[in-house]
Amino acid sequence: WVLMVTAQTPTNIAVIKYWGKRDEDLILPINDSISVTLDPEHLCTTTTVAVSPSFDQDRMWLNGKEFSLSGGRYQRCLKEIRSRASGFEDEKKGVKITEKDWENLHVHISSYNNFPTAAGLASSAAGFACLVFSLAKLMNVKEDHGRLSAIARQGSGSACRSLYGGFAKWIMGKNDDGSDSMAVQLADEKHWDDLVIVIAVVSSRQKETSSTSGMRESVETSKLIHHRAKEVVPKRIVEMEEAIKNRDFESFAHLSCADSNQFHAVCMDTCPPIFYMNDTSHRIISCVEKWNRSEASPQVAYTFDAGPNAVLIARNRKAAALLLQRLLFHFPPRSDADLKSYVIGDKSI
């Protein structure tokens, strides 16, 4: 027999960024963060996990290619889920698995991303969240989303926020063992469904400095990162929660843009400096800032993760349509240009 579970998990985009760890092994951050989760149909990971007594080792395929599971982060997630597995019985299929059996049963994992891996579009977030969620279903793990998010966190920090739709907050926690470092949902996907997210794919190339090593270098060499974590982010978290609760786009846009800019300032303050954005990213920022300033209130917020691609959050569909017009005018997508395409949901232009 073979038992299989398939799950789909969208990626999330931080509007108050996680950057810097206080514990590298357990993946514990130096500040809280807040994100918006994309629509599940778009920019997501689909993972199928299977178990059978005929499998002789754990194996994984990523976008159809076999991928080594020997990395510490995968091993940790597998171990955490296995240790919480419960017995399962399906008389019709003649399957009976006891809690103890899980220790000797192996899994096969097949995962697909419908967006560029490691191009700063948070593929590790969707990937680990989906892996942990599907394995937990397969192994009949009876834990709530908060506890599962703490396991996904050990795969990749930002993954803990992808367990929820809508808006999520990763609470950094205080405990040394990480038991209180997990994500909670701030509002579900229906709460603020006017917002439209447009991603301008500036480059789908793999980034030069991974988030993991970039944030390590920032913690070691930047003074600004410590000021940010202690003095700036705690206040912003409170203000952002308030903005989300009240669907206050003006504050939301102001906080998102300011936090993205400060995160990139921290990268510049790192020695040697890390440049994730490029000229096109900077031109997109200027274009949005200029437009926002010409209106009575902001129409679009921007945020950039560890890569040059712009995540643009429009206040409503009308603003998104105008945004696309502006982008197409100022940055016509050409194969030889820096800007590759725009993505609204699953439609590329």
Instruction: Identify whether the C-beta of residue 33 lies closer than 8 Å to the C-beta of residue 161.
Output: yes
Residue 36: beta bridge partners?
Answer: 13, 167
Q: Which residues contact 289 (CB under 8 A, 6 or more apart)?
A: 257
From 104-112, 151-159, 199-207, 254-262, give the range in contact with ligand DP6 by CB under 6 A.
151-159
Examine residue 181 and tell whether it contacts ligand DP6 (CB under 6 A). Answer: no
Q: Which is nearer to ligand DP6, 119 or 138 (CB)?
A: 119
Q: Which is nearer to ligand DP6, 27 or 43 (CB)?
A: 27
Site string for ligand DP6, 106-145 (x = CB under 6 A): ----------------x-x---------------------
From 14-22, 78-86, 95-103, 309-317, give the range in contact with ligand DP6 by CB under 6 A.
14-22
Q: Is the peptide bond before 298 cis (omega within 30 degrees of 0)?
A: no
Window 196 to 215, contacts with ligand DP6 (CB under 6 A): 211-212
Compute φ and ψ for 333, nearest 5 degrees: -70, 120
Instruction: Identify whether the C-beta of residue 177 lies closer than 8 Å to the C-beta of residue 256.
Output: no
> Which of 7, 14, 300, 319 is close enough to bind ligand DP6 by CB under 6 A?
14
Q: Which is nearer to ligand DP6, 28 or 51 (CB)?
A: 28
CB of 76 to ligand DP6, least distance (A): 12
Window 28 to 67, contacts with ligand DP6 (CB under 6 A): 33
Q: Which long-range contacts (CB under 8 A, 24 or more apart) does 67-73 make?
A: 69/109, 72/25, 73/128, 73/154, 73/155, 73/156
Computed on alpha carbons and rounded to an integer, the radius of gyration of the chain in Å comes to 21
> Which of 11, 37, 47, 156 is close enough to bind ligand DP6 by CB under 6 A?
156
From 95-103, 153-161, 171-179, 242-250, give the range in contact with ligand DP6 by CB under 6 A.
153-161
* Size of interface with ligand DP6, in residues (CB under 6 A): 15
Q: Which is nearer to ligand DP6, 13 or 324 (CB)?
A: 13
Instruction: Identify whether the C-beta of residue 51 lies closer than 8 Å to the C-beta of residue 99.
Output: no
Strand ranges for the chain from DSSP E:
3-10, 12-16, 21-23, 28-29, 33-37, 44-52, 59-62, 65-67, 88-90, 95-97, 106-113, 167-171, 182-187, 196-201, 300-303, 310-314, 341-344, 347-348
CB of 156 to ligand DP6, least distance (A): 3
Q: How many residues does the chain have?
A: 349
The two structure tokens encoding residue 106? 């192996």
- CA 60/CA 63 separation, integer angstroms: 10
CB of 93 to ligand DP6, least distance (A): 37
Examine residue 277 and tell whether it contacts ligand DP6 (CB under 6 A). Answer: no
From 10-18, 61-69, 111-119, 248-256, give the range in contact with ligand DP6 by CB under 6 A.
10-18
Quickly count: other Cβ atoms within 10 Å of residue 63's Cβ. Answer: 12
Window 212 to 231, contacts with ligand DP6 (CB under 6 A): 212
> 25 to each of 21, 209, 291, how far by Cα in Å?
9, 19, 43
CB of 135 to ligand DP6, least distance (A): 18
CB of 121 to ligand DP6, least distance (A): 9
Examine residue 306 and tell whether it contacts ligand DP6 (CB under 6 A). Answer: yes
Examine residue 150 and tell whether it contacts ligand DP6 (CB under 6 A). Answer: no
Examine residue 27 and tell whether it contacts ligand DP6 (CB under 6 A). Answer: yes
- CA 78/CA 151 separation, integer angstroms: 9
> Which of 11, 158, 281, 303 is close enough to bind ligand DP6 by CB under 6 A?
158
Centroid of chain to Cα 1? 35
| Chain positions contacting ligand DP6, by CB under 6 A | 14, 17-19, 27, 33, 122, 124, 156-158, 211-212, 305-306
